[in-house]
Amino acid sequence: MAAKPQSLRPLASLLRPRSAYRCQQHQQQPQFRSYSAAPPGARLNGTVNYDTTSILNHTSKTALSNPELPENVRTGPTKSINLYTAVNEAMRHALQTDERVLVFGEDIQFGGVFRCTMNLNEDFGTERVFNTPLSEQGLIGFAIGAASEGMRPIAEIQFADYVYPAFDQLINECAKMRYRAGKTDMHCGGLVVRMPAGVVGHGALYHSQSPEVLFTHVPGLRVIIPRSPIQAKGLLLAAIACNDPCIFLEPKILYRAAKEHVPVGGYTLPLDKAEILKTGSDVTVVSYGTPLYTCEAAIQKAEKDLGCSVELIDLRTIYPWDRETILNSVRKTGRAIVVHESMQNAGVGAEVAATIQEGAFTRLEAPVKRVAGWATFTGLAYEQFVIPDVARVYDAIKKIIEY
């Protein structure tokens, strides 16, 4: 390439990307908090070790010890699978046991973007597992019609970021159908809308959103977010059997990262009950989905440094959510922190915090705190800095203890 004229070199130097140089500077002098749960070179002040986290069941014994599982399942076999395989197995079981179940969406015949529907088309045929046109409002409209005729449709939105064109169908048709049906008893029970959601590290503006709170303003819908393979399988089967239409958001970063022992047979888990993952006496931390792993790492460090005892609760279903479990915990601990990946403004944390203020105000030792995504869209280069990390959750625990 010919050399640039001398007069253009200063301009070229100004236009040259400097991100690599800044990264080199950062690597030479790593900045991290002394209480970070990971060494200085670690990303995000702590990378989750999915091989050791207590949130996942690393043995068959721990998986089958869950008291929520049916007795016949607790005495059966398990196998170690990741989350997308658990989702696949749930749909496979539903297709095998209920002829009313249909599975459809954009490109799902070859397995979908995340391979959640692998081999379902080959095993159950194109009449029950099939592709749809690239129209979210169209495929949700079809799902509503199928559900109103007694089918159990499982509709896949390729990314949660793409669901917005279907809002009119979901809110004005799906959620309201039972309210206007009168004596016909027509409703959309059995309809499940699956969608991958959340940050994955390189999703940028259109593949990283967590829109769950937008659905929590809609009576008639259930909104569910699993944290692990065993939860994904049980909650998805429960959603398919439920007589309310369900929005089922799957944390896509966990599709392959989260792996644990899962019962081989079919089973359901309660859609209306939060789960206490760890008991504690000084602080209640409420979360759901991927941030639970961040919370666990922060709690371990905080308990070691501060000598406190922290209770960790997974909401699982964020609408309608289990108020009683949360209130009972906060009445015991006197302190509450709500953590979620979606934006803080008008988020799930705001509703949980308001409910705690109303139902447990006299037992509070400190104001309820929220640790959530910043109120901004997620640019590619800054994706990991928008969501809660270990340091932010640790800060919240430290401040609420010292209040």
136 catalytically annotated: yes
Q: Where are the alpha helices (DSSP H) in 217-334?
A: 229-241, 254-257, 291-306, 323-333
C-alpha to C-alpha distance for 191 and 195, rounded to whole angstroms: 13
C-alpha to C-alpha distance for 133 and 388, rounded to whole angstroms: 36
Of the residues 89, 156, 187, 207, only one is catalytic, namely: 207
207 catalytically annotated: yes
C-alpha to C-alpha distance for 151 and 283, rounded to whole angstroms: 45
C-alpha to C-alpha distance for 53 and 55, rounded to whole angstroms: 5
Q: Are strands 152-156 and 192-197 parallel, antiparallel or unpaired?
A: parallel
Q: Which of 359, 306, 304, 305 is nearest to 336 (CA)?
A: 359
Within 8 A by CB and 6+ apart from 16, the residues are: none
- Cα distances (angstroms) measured from residue 256 to each of 118, 251, 289, 342, 381: 14, 10, 14, 21, 23
10 Å Cβ neighbour count for 78?
Answer: 20
C-alpha to C-alpha distance for 141 and 135, rounded to whole angstroms: 10
Of the residues 136, 250, 260, 383, only one is catalytic, namely: 136
* One-character DSSP codes across 322-370: -HHHHHHHHHHHS-EEEEEEEESTTSHHHHHHHHHHHHHGGG-SS--EE
Active site residues: 136, 207
